[in-house]
Amino acid sequence: MTRQTFIAGLALASLSFGATVALAQGSAKVGAPAPVFQAVDADGKTRSLSEFAGKTVILEWTNADCPYVRKHYNSATMQTLQKDMTREGAVWLSVVSSPVGEQGHVEGPQAKELTVTRDAAPTAVLLDPDSKVARAYGATTTPHIYIIDPKGTLAYMGAIDDKPSSNAASLTGAKSYVRQAMAELKAGKPVSEAATKAYGCAVKYAPVS
């Protein structure tokens, strides 16, 4: 390989990385109004953020084939969170943004089957194969969590916990950023760690049309 070819390769890689980052840039900002969205759920019903006005909404980006996601589902960490949060009155929306042909893509029937077989308990599973919701929020990984307060303000965005590993053993002693944020919101306090670094598999974005 010539020096010129190597440099060209580095430049191309840099451009590709820049394009990926650009795809994930959204308008979501803690303390600002959460980006509005519409998406079809696993039952074929169009859902929108405005539908849940006055409620706390939790968005969970997911990809059933991602080892980081599997860590939380195989251990029932995610399902327990879903059940606990919805029991407290929150709306939990699992978002699948993998486009057709990419890892994690599912159609409605597959999404419903996954919910049943994993004993998951989201309020709804949103299908986002064109990545519009992902782009609006700048979702980068699976899982990636966003919490919207009853006033429609983004109160938290980032990781599910403080253990960026796909190893189930890392769940021991992990701090749940989601539980912490929800407890602080319930107590009328500001979220102490409102923005953390999400970890997991990269969200697969659909090409911009």
pLDDT at 9 over 60: no
pLDDT at residue 208, rounded to an integer: 85
Give me the domain span that covers residue 184.
3-202
Confidence of residue 25 (pLDDT cuts 50, 70, 90): low
**Chain-wide mean pLDDT for the chain?**
90
Residue 45: inside a domain:
yes
Q: Is the pTM of this model over 0.85?
A: yes
Q: What is the mean pLDDT of residues 78-91?
A: 98
Closest by alpha carbon to 96, among 130, 136, 46, 47?
130
Confidence of residue 24 (pLDDT cuts 50, 70, 90): low
When divided into structural domains, the chain yields a total of 1
Neighbours of 168 (CB within 10 A): 14
Q: What is the mean pLDDT of residues 60-75?
A: 98
Residue 208: inside a domain:
no
Please report, rounded to a whole number, the percentage of residues in the chain having pLDDT higher than 90: 86
Residue 55: inside a domain:
yes
Residue 44: inside a domain:
yes
Confidence of residue 7 (pLDDT cuts 50, 70, 90): very low
Q: Indicate which CATH number applies to the domain containing 141.
A: 3.40.30.10
Which has the higher per-residue pLDDT, 83 or 21? 83
Residue 141: inside a domain:
yes
- Measured between alpha carbons, how far is residue 176 from residues 37, 83, 122, 142, 198 in Å? 26, 15, 18, 16, 12
pLDDT one-digit tens code per residue, 138-154: 999 999 999 999 999 99
Our separate counts of H helices and E strands in the chain read: 6, 9
pLDDT at 5 over 50: no
Residue 209: inside a domain:
no
Q: What is the mean pLDDT of residues 120-144?
A: 97
The SS3 call for residue 130 is coil
The SS3 call for residue 50 is helix
pLDDT one-digit tens code per residue, 161-202: 999 999 999 999 999 999 999 999 999 999 999 999 999 999
